[in-house]
Amino acid sequence: MSFASQQPAHYPLNQPNAHVIRDDAEAIAVAHRVAALLRPGAAERDLQRAVPPEVVDAFSDSGLWGITVPRAYGGAEVSFATLAEVIAIVSAADPSLGQIPQNHYCLLEDVRLQGSEAQKRFFFELVLKGHRFANALSETGGKHVQDLQTRIVREGDGYRIDGRKGYCTGSLYAHWLGVLALDEEGRGQLAFVERGTPGLVVVDDWDSIGQRTTSSGTVLADGLRVPAFNLFPSYRSYESPTLAGPFAQITTAAIDAGIARAALEDTIAFVREQARPWIDSGLDKASEDPLTIVQVGGLDIRLAAAEALLERAGKVLDRAKPAPDEDNVAAASLAVAKAKVLTTEVAIEATNRLFELGGTRSTLKRHNLDRHWRNARVHTLHDPVRWKYHVVGNWLLNGAKPPRHDWS
């Protein structure tokens, strides 16, 4: 196949120089500092659909992209609960940038689960130096999300990959791409490919209404050559019980929690500073309206519940990590499913209520508050939350364990 007509994207990739974070407490402290850096420009970046290289560099050089690297390889190996909190903190400042390392973390989990000793040393060292990984996993065609057309075949002393990938979050900013392809036996193989490798083309064509600066566009593999050392048998992560699925899901839920928190904070600020009271209230300030007070209080309570379930899910994963088996992996998937239901629903509700409580003036373009709703509406579509209800109910009624894949 040939993708010669596709124009490759250009984005400056500077030499990484990352700080190495040493423990969970430092990771959370750094997350707050990064959030303070990202928050002021988030609305403008959304409007322009552009992120300056120095912003992405500051984010990855902070060390947050390396916090899941195992201690045996020089990383902090933070808990799953801490990782979820870090992602939520950053996503409350800018959920697009909060999302770009999400698949980076998932790719590192693939290295941890399926990498050889030499592969772990090599790729974990890159991450601790500040190299950014992005995914080229999903495809936009096919009958369903697991119907992949990209193929990998042995060629000489390495492999060749051909295919078209979509939803490749962070691809524009990445030093390395994780490309998923099916081998001759239909098994998923994950190839780590360095940016600039001949046959690898990143197309910056993401044009969704939300999460505008995630660079979740297209990646093309056209006669892409990959050395055997860069190949990981990712299919093995689902042949036996591992935390790969609930890990992917908890990172996604954390982003939605961050979106909800950002929307609620902006609602409170707008109601206090700019919204007008309704004429029938007889009040001087919108913030004194008892009906508005009830709505804001309810949102905060539901968000607190979502965040509590998110933290609880992280702790369930942490308990399962030392010896994952059928039962504790199922428990992790169920805990994450419950968290994801609430983070999804409160994100959509909070971003909707912002306009209801802020009034017509809150919809003015200069505020760009609609970015919260757009971000929530797009990001919560990653997998249908109605199936999370099904997973939980099927377990309770029929003792059916959740399926093992990236969405469970």
DSSP letter for each residue of 343-361: HHHHHHHHHHHHHHHH-GG
Superfamily of domain 240-398: Butyryl-CoA Dehydrogenase, subunit A, domain 3 (1.20.140.10)
Question: Considering the domain 24-132 in this protein, what is its CATH number?
Answer: 1.10.540.10
Of 228, 222, 167, 174, the residue nearest 65 (C-alpha): 174
Residues constituting the chain: 408
Residue 336: how many other CB atoms lie within 10 Å: 34
Whether 151-236 and 24-132 are alike in CATH topology: the answer is no
Token output for 35: 């959030």
User: pLDDT (tens digit, 0 to 9) for every residue of the chain, 408 residues total?
Assistant: 445 456 788 899 999 999 999 999 999 999 999 999 999 999 999 999 999 999 999 999 999 999 999 999 999 999 999 999 999 999 999 999 999 999 999 999 999 999 999 999 999 999 999 999 999 999 998 788 788 999 999 999 999 999 999 999 999 999 999 999 999 999 999 999 999 999 999 999 999 999 999 999 999 999 999 999 999 999 999 889 999 999 999 999 999 999 999 999 999 999 999 999 999 999 999 999 999 999 999 999 999 999 999 999 999 999 999 999 999 999 999 999 999 999 999 999 999 999 999 999 999 999 999 999 999 999 999 889 999 999 999 999 999 999 988 878
**pLDDT, position 144:** 83
Give the burial string for 245-279 (b: 16+ CB within 10 Å, else e): bbbbbbbbbbbbbbbbbbbbebbbebbeeebbbee
Token output for 136: 């080229």
Domain boundaries, the chain: 24-132, 151-236, 240-398
**pLDDT, position 405:** 87
**pLDDT, position 3:** 54
Superfamily of domain 151-236: Butyryl-CoA Dehydrogenase, subunit A, domain 2 (2.40.110.10)
The alpha carbon dihedral of 42, 345, 143, 191 has a sign of positive
AA identity, residue 109: E
Residue 87: how many other CB atoms lie within 10 Å: 27
Q: Within 13 A of 343's CA, how many CA atoms are on the CB side?
A: 36
> For 144, which DSSP code?
S
**pLDDT, position 7:** 74
**pLDDT, position 289:** 97
Give the SS3 label for residue 180: strand
Give the position of tokens 């010896």.
Answer: 323
Residue 290: how many other CB atoms lie within 10 Å: 9
